[in-house]
Amino acid sequence: MLQALRGNNFAMIKNDIESTFYTGQVLPEPISKVCEFLDENGYPISGCFELSTIGVDDLKGWFKKTPSAVDTLLPFGRGACGDVYAVWLVNNLELENSPIVMFGSEGTLGVLARNAKEFCKLLCLGYSELGLEDHSLVGDDFSETKPFRDFILGEYNFELPQTGQKIIEEANQAFPEFTKWVEDNAWE
């Protein structure tokens, strides 16, 4: 399915991903901008991160105890190891203010960013495995991320940190309940 996302126009990529959302939601605007970048420039976006439509089915497997819990997740991306990246619709937050979370292929869970704009900042920093690296260090793929970084900085005039550590720390402080929420809704 990832192959199908390459080379389409951004509206198709965006529509393909959104068609997997059971609740009829749409992507936050900054994630839509990632789709737009992909259409104009192709991969890489940042490290091994790729847009994907296969996350919903993977996430269903996590929620055996409460299958409806998957309805609060809008998966949009994958990592090289099979990690799933999603918007977590929690606490009645507006879509643009909802956190970005990761479900690791080996069971690792994490809140990566307080919202989609913060996630784009993290993508700009060039981590090869976005959710699994030491975020106190500069990303190994920083130079490869320059086209994406230039695009995003042209869209959003924000300042980038040197590393992703603060982005992830602030996200985990803002949403400390994520791991417990998954555990409470996952396996019987």
What is the pLDDT, as a whole number, of residue 11? Answer: 65
Minimum mean pLDDT range among 5-9, 21-25, 69-73, 171-175: 5-9
Nearest to 105 by CA among 75, 62, 139: 62
What is the pLDDT, as a whole number, of residue 49? Answer: 93
Q: pLDDT at residue 26 above 70?
A: yes
β-strands 100-103, 109-113 pairing: antiparallel
The model carries a pTM of 0.91
Residue 147 CB burial class (10 angstroms; 0-12, 13-18, ≥19): middle
Residue 57 CB partners (closer than 8 Å, separation 6+): none
What's the average model confidence in pLDDT over 62-85?
91
Cis peptide before 44 (omega within 30 of 0): yes
> Is 57:32 a contact under the CB 8 Å cutoff?
no
What's the average model confidence in pLDDT over 43-52?
91
86 DSSP β-pair partners: 75, 101
What is the pLDDT, as a whole number, of residue 113? Answer: 98
Q: pLDDT at residue 96 above 50?
A: yes
Q: Which residue has the tokens 């929620």?
A: 63
What's the average model confidence in pLDDT over 107-111?
90
What is the pLDDT, as a whole number, of residue 126? Answer: 93
pLDDT class for 35, splitting at 50, 70, 90? very high
Q: pLDDT at residue 10 above 70?
A: no
- For residue 42, CA distances in Å to 88, 93, 112, 124, 126 come to 26, 32, 24, 15, 16
